[in-house]
Structure 1
Amino acid sequence: MTWLPTDLAPLLARLSEPDRRTREAAAEHLADLLRSGELHQEQAEHAIGRLAEVAVAHHPGADAAAARYAIGEATACYRPPLERVRGLAALAADGPAVLEDVLDILARTHDPAAEEIIRSHRDDPRADVRATAERALTELAGRIPGATPQRYVTPAYADQWTRDVSADLATFTATFEQERGYPCGEHTLGAAAGQAELVAMTAGDLRHVMPSELLNWCRRVREVSLPDVGNGLFLHPPDLIVAHALAEGVQWMADGNGRRERVVVFGSDGGGTLYALNLTGTAVHRLPPGEVLDGVYRSADLRADIIAPHLVGFLDLLREAVHEHVRTGAVPAL
């Protein structure tokens, strides 16, 4: 049985009330809760499923619109399973505005089974609908591959990651000076980023650049600084991520054939290597020191490669590297 926090269960119950305004208010409150990213994935999926039922059953009422909006807000932090939102496809015939919402939600499931539904609108006689379908297909392609059970940054994942690394660091720092003969540096596992920092990460042109996985991570952990683990490992705070994404660092990767891919740098080591996530969240690139001209990175270094299929995969590697370094002294090979 799904466990629900005390403030979620009554909200879901109010979605079944006969009064339309009560349902609408509950959906608006759920939008706030889902937007905050505070729920675990299972809880969010349960709420999204109930909202989808309201969105279909009471369409075109204001309560249905509020429910549809709440699901859209949820997709900033959570990936809704297709089976929870598939029923929204029944609303697609109700005008371009509703269709845009529905296709956007379906695309953010990143489930290949949604492609047929979205693709059916590519030949619509209305140009704006065709454009919406094309954008949705592009978003859908961001589906993260692999069999890893935990593939997305959720509050539960970030919190567990922080607990695990903190436990290793406590052991590491307690014996560091005795074993190495000099004081340990300051190691930081930052708290959640502030609202102003999160807003800056999606301001202006960055709205179409910043991977949602980085936003979800920074909502729980704004910075990681491990100067004494190997030659140093760092996950950048929001201001440094923004600086790199705009004009002060790498924004593009170029391969030997001149093809470019937009990336966002989010981490580094003490030797000048950068770690960057592509826009769809489907590859973390390792970028050893190389040529950077007008924001375009080029390198013939064989270490320049994809090292994880998604941000969680990289975070798993980093967590394991910290654990092994503390346990055996092995230098992390990230």
Structure 2
Amino acid sequence: MATTSGVNPNSLVDEIARLALEFQEGFESRFGYPPDEHLVSKAQDDDTSIAPGNLLAHATAKDLLRFYDIVDEISLPDLDNGYFIHPRSVTFNGEGAGHPTEVRGYRSEEICTFGSEGGGALYALGLSTGHVYRLTGGELIGSAYSVEPSGFHTAAPSLWGFLEFLRDRLKKSLMGD
């Protein structure tokens, strides 16, 4: 079933999984050293992680909830600086431990931190906009991430747009870009 943006979540996730495997299998011959493990881990029926109430209260979070019905985590450690979509249990239960629930400073908004990259950036879903933000160089104060304009970037207009970005980065890397 497609989302309102026309994306078929299952097909997109399957394509990322296929590309991640292809990327990993050809990595050593292209770069001369073995890759770390690249994976798209499917959601397990026995995962009892429950989305926090602040997430359930926002219509913009429905795509993240749907994503975690399909996938537990994505790990692409050798793609660029590495991209990591945290396991459902970390995203839903990780508040405080490096997982801010709001951004302050340049912009104030409730967020759900769901990913990171090897360079230290965090990826968060803006709960009022549905945009995916890339947060860098800020300071975690309690559950808030304080950030200046230079550390706040819209990475994608939606979660599915972010996943399409990851798919496209895998495709470009496989073509040698």
TM-score, length-normalised on structure 1? 0.48
Structure of greater relative contact order (alpha carbons < 8 Å, 6+ residues apart): 2
Q: Distance in 1 between matches of 2:140 and 2:92?
A: 17
Report which of the two has the higher share of strand: 2
Length, aligned pairs only: 175
Contact 1:236 1:266 survives alignment (8 Å): yes
Give the equivalent residue in structure 2 for 1:208. 57
Pairing partner for 1:311 from 144, 159, 173: 159
Q: Does 1:171 align with 2:22?
A: yes
User: What CA deviation, in whole Å up to 9, does each residue of 1:193-251 have, x standing for no partner?
Assistant: 435435x224x56543692211100111111001111111111111110234x322211
AA aligned to 1:247 is: G
Q: Distance in 2 between matches of 1:254 and 1:298?
A: 5
Listed as ranges, the gaps of 5+ residues in structure 2 are none
SS in 2 for 1:201: coil
Pairing partner for 1:268 from 116, 120, 125: 116
Q: 1:213 to 1:193 in 2, by over 3 A?
A: farther
Alpha-carbon distance, 1:284 to partner: 1.1
Give the equivalent residue in structure 2 for 1:302. 150
Give the equivalent residue in structure 1 for 2:6. 150
SS in 2 for 1:219: helix
Q: RMSD of the TM alignment (CA)? A: 2.4
Q: Distance in 2 between matches of 1:206 and 1:306?
A: 19
Report which of the two has the higher share of helix: 1
Alpha-carbon distance, 1:260 to partner: 2.2
Give the equivalent residue in structure 2 for 1:226. 76
TM-score, length-normalised on structure 2? 0.85
Q: Distance in 2 between matches of 1:281 and 1:189?
A: 26
Counterparts in 2 of 1:99-138, with a 5 A limit?
none
Identity %: 29
AA aligned to 2:74 is: V
Q: 1:301 to 1:193 in 2, by over 3 A?
A: farther
Runs of 4+ in 1 over 6 A off after TM superposition: none
Contact 1:211 1:280 survives alignment (8 Å): no
Give the equivalent residue in structure 2 for 1:240. 90
Q: Distance in 1 between matches of 2:70 and 2:9?
A: 6
